[in-house]
Chains A and B, each alone.
Chain A
Amino acid sequence: MSDEQPTRVSRRRVLGGAAALAGVSLAPGLFLVQARAAEADAGSGVRWGLLVDTTRCPGDCEACVDACQAENGWPAGEAVEEPQWIRKVVVGTGERDGAAQALPVMCQHCAEPPCVSVCPTHASFKRHDGIVLVDKHRCIGCRYCMMACPFHARSFVHAPVAERSPNHPRGKGTVEACTLCVHRIDRGEIPACVERCAQEGHAALIFGDLNDPDSEIRRALRERTATPLRGDLGLDPGVRYHGLS
């Protein structure tokens, strides 16, 4: 934080700064500029993910949804224009294919996120640790990303927000979705839904680093078969589901 970055940096200043930083001069006027070390960014080499064990998720339980609302401060409501960061979706009718299953669906934190590809302002972006976010400072509310997401994971804030949560700034005219509780992850905690699910005694949600072979989620993935939703789309979601028939 020691450097003062003006809000808009002219090209000349960027080039001047780059030249000042350069350690090696390759030729007069040609510098080898060292990019900032990658490990300075959040979780290089880490990919956060979730495993949803649908066999442990009771149809009538909404604890994860409640926990998310309380944590991130989005209002409850059934109307289509109300935000839904996470919802319980019922699949199957119970007639043909055994019991109906209810599973929580939130942003799947795709490795190949279409919401990022379509965003005209780079507001929709993927962090180095795989978390897909909306940078509301840049979002212009065009809602392309909502169209692009095959999971209906994103919501639009239609009205001014009266109760603003310190955990997650929300504002009219921007798009939002599950952040995997990025504010908690950056503090070394687990997402609110995972915590609440365990407190309720279901432990249907397992969180962890998909790139770490010794993590709890990788151990669970070795023991239980898990599939992504709409695997045919090839988006490589970070959220996987076990027990979907």
Chain B
Amino acid sequence: MRRKRRYAWVAAGTAAVVAATGLALALDGVPGGDTRPAAVADRPEPRGDACIHEDPERMRRVHMDRLHTHQEQGVREGRSDPDWDLQSCVGCHAAPEAQQAAGHGSSSDEVAFCASCHEYAAVELDCFQCHSTEPEGRP
């Protein structure tokens, strides 16, 4: 019984190390290679000069928490902030058709910006099963 539990701990530890390494590579680049992060190197450029919220490094790490907070406030409490809803991200980050046609990374869809990192880190991107990817969507 105790040994089984020890194996479980070792397995969980190994899995955590592997996952962390994958994420670190995705975000911080392959050692000795291109200085740009691996998953970011071949990715459509967002429109505009800078993310209106925070520096991109930080957004890369916290965007899911920010979106989750806004989702709760927007949907359940009706305090939606147009600057923070997913549609505002799509407004800058969805690739225009010309870029889609050119193809980027392993994904050439409208949200290749998101997909390039998500695919690399093997984190499923569910948002756009329901949400629109239309960059001009906001009425």
Binding site for B on A (CB under 8 A): 1, 3-7, 40-43, 125, 127-129, 131, 133, 135-137, 160-161, 164-167, 169-172, 174, 182, 186
B71 A137 Cβ-Cβ under 8 A: yes
A172's partner among B76, B80, B128, B129 (CB-CB below 8 A) is: B129
A135 B76 Cβ-Cβ under 8 A: yes
A129-B87 Cα distance, complex, nearest whole Å? 24
Q: B83-139: which residues lie under 8 A (CB-CB) from chain A?
A: 84, 87, 128-134, 137-139
B68 at the interface (CB under 8 A from A): yes
Please indicate the chain B residues that have their CB under 8 angstroms from the CB of A174 in the complex.
130
With CB as the reference atom, state the residue of chain A lying closest to B84. Answer: A1
A4 B62 Cβ-Cβ under 8 A: yes
The interface size of chain B toward A, counting residues with CB under 8 Å, comes to 27
Knowing that A1-B81, A4-B69 are A-B contacts, what are 15 other residue pairs whose CB atoms are under 8 Å apart, sorted by A's residue number?
A: A3-B69, A6-B65, A41-B77, A42-B78, A42-B79, A43-B78, A125-B76, A127-B76, A127-B77, A128-B78, A135-B76, A165-B132, A167-B139, A171-B129, A174-B130
B137 A166 Cβ-Cβ under 8 A: yes
Binding site for A on B (CB under 8 A): 62, 64-66, 68-71, 75-81, 84, 87, 128-134, 137-139
A182 B69 Cβ-Cβ under 8 A: no
B129 A137 Cβ-Cβ under 8 A: no
Please indicate the chain A residues that have their CB under 8 angstroms from the CB of B87 in the complex.
166
A171 B134 Cβ-Cβ under 8 A: no
A73-B28 Cα distance, complex, nearest whole Å? 40
State the Cβ distance, B109 to closest chain A Cβ, in Å.
13
A171-B132 Cα distance, complex, nearest whole Å? 11
A161-B129 Cα distance, complex, nearest whole Å? 7
